[in-house]
Amino acid sequence: MEKFAKMIAAALGLKERSVEATLGLLADGCTIPFISRYRKERTGGLDEVQIARISEEGARLADLAKRKETIVKAITGQGKMTPELSRRIDDCWDAALLEDIYLPYKPKRRTKGGIARERGLEPLAAIIMLQRERNPEAAARRFVKGDVKDVGEAIKGAQDIIAENVSEDERARQTVRTAFRRTAVITAKVKASRSAAGDKSDQLVNSTTHNSSAGDLSTRDLSARPSSTENYDKYSDYFDCSEALNRCTSHRLLAMRRGEAEGVLRVSISPADDPTERLQRHYVRGSGECQRLVADAVADAYKRLLKPSIETEFAAMSKEKADDEAIRVFAANLRQLLLAAPLGQKRVMGIDPGFRTGCKVVCLDAKGTLLHHEAVFPHPPRADRAMASRRLAYMVTAYGIEAVAIGNGTASRETEAFVRQVFQQTPVYVVSEDGASVYSASKTAREEFPDEDVTVRGAVSIGRRLMDPLAELVKIDPKSIGVGQYQHDVDQAKLKRSLDMTVESCVNSVGVNLNTASAHLLAYVSGLGPALAKNIVDYRTANGPFASRRELLKVPRLGRAAFEQCAGFLRIPGAANPLDNTAVHPESYNIVEHMARDSRCTVAELIADSKRRADIDLSRYVSADAGMSTLTDIMAELDKPGRDPHGQAEEFAFSDDVHTPADLHEGMVLPGIVTNITNFGAFVDIGVHQDGLVHISQMADRYVSDPAQVVSLHQHVRVRVTGIDLKRNRISLSMRNIDD
């Protein structure tokens, strides 16, 4: 652990002591939210992002250590381990270099060089490589026997051995790797397929090279895989595209790789600076026939072995980098979505709009319990607006509805306009319904509503999303929520880890009401998980609401270790001890009680009286277990006990003048809602059933490096229409100079 701490601290620019303490806490089973919130003295105040990086680096180094053990065992088993080789492996913590060291000893499939060795040509390869023989053909004649038919075949076999030796030489690999690192260019060209081009041949089609701002696929394209015919239009920006690999953005690289996977594009990576001559200078000494043979073997090694190998390495590295960026964007969007402002505990009508099948309407009480559901048909083909108006008006009165949530799918605009006519005094909100169909068909939904069909469950989800987005969205696989970029193309295991960590972070940063939270929400609380969450709900059902946090210790299988991890993130409004409804951890209750005694008041009075708190000298309460960081956090929490950090939901209305893309014209300024943020811009819903793109260059009257610096998910914005491509379903928008 000490060695790992030193390497991680150097790599991340952190204090070694903080890293070592963090690794120790993680090894003890502490969660990232718990460490960042309640162990600041141990870590030196590291935040969740830094602790997560330490955890990732620690896991990477641990995996590398296991790989080194495997390599040592393999080389030792061959009887080829030397003290020098052992030292090099022990000192190596670079995965690529480690594989270079192992490559000459790695079991291989049958190669040209291997076949030549089997034919006894390795001594000839050594002779040629020494480059002292003036007549290599004469030397080669001694090896013409058995499977070696003539001198030419002998020399060719020797060159195959030399090429393979060069390809396994660390110096050669580093030379090629350096060339790729400095000047690698990624190139994409279209492959004409029979299905899209009507030509069975696999020919290249020439097209105009596009610049790096092109090829930003629409929001619908970010997760869906199109048919083969659609592919050719979708990837037209990459038909003949070439750019420096280190300047290729995440979304462009992932688009090329998806096009390659779907058989539309050929993608390759090559160094602009061919390293063949540089390699030859490493191995060729002087001039002569042997030198020519070695030079040819080195050129063959680069073209046939080294370049494909390093290209594969850089393809994987660039893909991993692009994945990381796409996952970062996805996680940032998910965080914003989960922490969106809730309406709160109000009676809500949820509407899943539709034309032919009608609008599915549900009425929910302040806790999200389903009270009533039915379907109304205000739109064609039935268009029974009078009956729909009467039924909606009745439901609002009968169930005390305080707000209406309408899904943003098919018939959303029409339903919103109709509902606003019926309820001029009741707030109406348009809610994203991404993932609602996934929830409605899930096991979770079936358990919640075993007697209702998927349409009712979907409408309930829409209504609950308005009331509390976090509590409702945790029931859905984050990948189904629709705020990701190329989410099906990135490393799925890494994506899941990142999204799960994001959900866990959001849940714990907000805190969870112990007496109302579902098992799905509780499962994300630090130290719990699905099994303990279910046990908590079962205990609550059998014994009634929890009266205190300490009562958690009565829950089956919830021991002191789990209690330590979860207690600070659970809230009990109205508890006898007011600290049970704060983020103050039970281990620190004695500190607050000590402060209250010194202030000659109760804990409740201390929380209610800001003047008393202002008079407290925190330095008097510093101890080995509670430093100034912990004390400052405690006082900050006493200033806002139980406060919801989300903010308040706001109403929004689209322009009455536009309903379809055909209603748009350039220069029109419209209200919109940000539906997705990528690293090349933001997609905005302007109410025409096709989101428009505000490219990053059109987001502000200044340079913007990250769209998230300017907008947030579900933010209400004003945009100008700058381009309309009805054929490709693309709408270009701008946020610059809107006031003009």
Rounded to whole angstroms, what are the CA distances from 701 to 69, 214, 312, 499? 55, 21, 41, 33
Q: Which residue has the tokens 């993130």?
A: 569
Which ranges of 262-306 does DSSP label H, i.e. alpha helix? 276-283, 289-300
Res. 486 pLDDT band, cuts 50 70 90: confident
Instruction: Tell me the torsion sign for CA atoms 337, 341, 346, 347.
Output: negative
pLDDT at residue 68, as a whole number: 95
Which ranges of 599-723 does DSSP label H, i.e. alpha helix? 603-608, 610-614, 628-639
Rounded distance, CA 601 to CA 584, Å?
18
The residues that bridge with 683 in the sheet, in sequence order, are 676, 693
pLDDT at residue 644, as a whole number: 55
Helix (H, G, I), strand (E, B) or coil at 678: strand
Q: What is the mean pLDDT of residues 132-147?
A: 92
Rounded distance, CA 474 to CA 461, Å?
11
pLDDT at residue 740, as a whole number: 53
Closest Cα to residue 238, out of 202, 271, 191?
191
Closest Cα to residue 457, out of 477, 476, 470?
476
The residues that bridge with 360 in the sheet, in sequence order, are 352, 375
Rounded to whole angstroms, what are the CA distances from 55 to 347, 503, 529, 565? 43, 17, 19, 17
pLDDT at residue 655, as a whole number: 87
pLDDT at residue 191, as a whole number: 84
Q: Which residue has the tokens 């319990």?
A: 369
Residue 685, sorted as left (phi over 0), alpha (psi -120 to 50) or beta, turns out to be: beta
Res. 172 pLDDT band, cuts 50 70 90: very high
Q: What is the mean pLDDT of residues 249-270?
A: 92
Q: What is the mean pLDDT of residues 462-480?
A: 88
Q: What is the mean pLDDT of residues 500-509?
A: 91
Q: Which residue has the tokens 């690289």?
A: 253
Does the pLDDT value for residue 413 go beyond 80?
yes
pLDDT at residue 211, as a whole number: 34
Entry pTM: 0.81
pLDDT at residue 337, as a whole number: 86
Q: What is the mean pLDDT of residues 418-444?
A: 88
Res. 353 pLDDT band, cuts 50 70 90: very high
DSSP 8-state symbol, 641: T
Residues 105, 107, 113: CA angle, nearest 5 degrees: 85
Helix (H) or strand (E) holding 348: strand 348-352
Rounded distance, CA 21 to CA 432, Å?
42
Q: C-alpha 409: how far from its chain's center?
A: 25
Rounded distance, CA 14 to CA 58, Å?
14
Mean pLDDT of the chain: 89
Q: Which residue has the tokens 């990086």?
A: 53
Rounded distance, CA 131 to CA 586, Å?
78
Q: What is the mean pLDDT of residues 513-524?
A: 93
Rounded distance, CA 402 to CA 327, Å?
38
Range scoring the smallest mean pLDDT among 216-230, 397-411, 565-579, 697-711: 216-230
Rounded distance, CA 646 to CA 636, Å?
17
Residue 94 near residue 67, CB atoms below 8 Å: no
Which ranges of 202-263 does DSSP label H, i.e. alpha helix? 228-234, 250-261
DSSP 8-state symbol, 304: I
> pLDDT of 76-126, one tens digit each?
999 999 999 999 999 999 999 999 999 999 988 889 999 999 999 999 999
Over pLDDT 70: what percentage of the chain? 93
pLDDT at residue 229, as a whole number: 54
pLDDT at residue 262, as a whole number: 87
Residue 529 near residue 520, CB atoms below 8 Å: no
Closest Cα to residue 132, out of 279, 294, 278?
294
Cβ burial of 582 (10 Å; 0-12, 13-18, 19+) is buried
Identity (one letter) of the amino acid at 76?
A: T
pLDDT at residue 640, as a whole number: 79
Identity (one letter) of the amino acid at 143?
A: F
Rounded to whole angstroms, what are the CA distances from 478 to 88, 331, 475, 484, 681? 43, 9, 9, 9, 21
pLDDT at residue 339, as a whole number: 87
Res. 214 pLDDT band, cuts 50 70 90: very low
Closest Cα to residue 196, out of 262, 254, 267?
262
pLDDT at residue 347, as a whole number: 95
Q: Which residue has the tokens 């499962």?
A: 523
Over pLDDT 90: what percentage of the chain? 69
Does the pLDDT value for residue 434 go beyond 90?
no
Cβ burial of 113 (10 Å; 0-12, 13-18, 19+) is buried
pLDDT at residue 204, as a whole number: 33
Residue 29, sorted as left (phi over 0), alpha (psi -120 to 50) or beta, turns out to be: left
Q: 3-state SS of 504-519? A: HHHHHHHCEECCCCCH
Q: How far apart are the first and last CA of the chain?
A: 60
Does the pLDDT value for residue 198 go beyond 90?
no
Q: Which residue has the tokens 């609950």?
A: 464
Res. 223 pLDDT band, cuts 50 70 90: very low
DSSP3 helix / strand / coil % (the chain, rounded to 5): 55, 10, 35
Residues 706, 710, 715: CA angle, nearest 5 degrees: 125
Identity (one letter) of the amino acid at 733?
A: L
Residue 182 near residue 271, CB atoms below 8 Å: yes
Rounded distance, CA 193 to CA 265, Å?
10
Q: What is the largest CA-CA distance in the chain?
A: 105
DSSP 8-state symbol, 685: E
Which ranges of 400-529 does DSSP label H, i.e. alpha helix? 412-422, 436-440, 443-448, 454-467, 469-473, 492-510, 519-522
Helix (H) or strand (E) holding 240: strand 240-244
Residue 58 near residue 26, CB atoms below 8 Å: yes
Does the pLDDT value for residue 227 go beyond 80?
no
Res. 230 pLDDT band, cuts 50 70 90: low
DSSP 8-state symbol, 486: S
Residues 280, 284, 286: CA angle, nearest 5 degrees: 135
Does the pLDDT value for residue 3 go beyond 60?
yes
Q: What is the mean pLDDT of residues 217-232?
A: 45
pLDDT at residue 226, as a whole number: 42
Does the pLDDT value for residue 69 go beyond 60?
yes
Rounded distance, CA 651 to CA 195, Å?
47
> pLDDT of 313-352, one tens digit each?
999 999 999 999 999 989 988 888 888 888 888 999 999 9
Rounded to whole angstroms, what are the CA distances from 730 to 313, 356, 661, 689, 691? 36, 27, 9, 11, 8
The residues that bridge with 136 in the sheet, in sequence order, are none
Q: Which residue has the tokens 């120790």?
A: 24
> pLDDT of 623-659, one tens digit each?
888 899 999 999 998 987 655 555 667 778 888 888 8
Virtual torsion, Cα 537, 542, 546, 548, nearest 10 deg: -110
pLDDT at residue 4, as a whole number: 93
Cis peptide before 342 (omega within 30 of 0): no
Q: What is the mean pLDDT of residues 263-272?
A: 93
Closest Cα to residue 612, out of 621, 626, 601, 622?
601
Res. 208 pLDDT band, cuts 50 70 90: very low
The residues that bridge with 695 in the sheet, in sequence order, are 681
Identity (one letter) of the amino acid at 568?
A: G
Residue 88 near residue 68, CB atoms below 8 Å: no
The residues that bridge with 191 in the sheet, in sequence order, are 204
CA atoms within 13 A on the CB side of 625: 6
pLDDT at residue 648, as a whole number: 65
Does the pLDDT value for residue 219 go beyond 50?
no
At residue 442, φ and ψ (nearest 5 deg) are: -85, 165
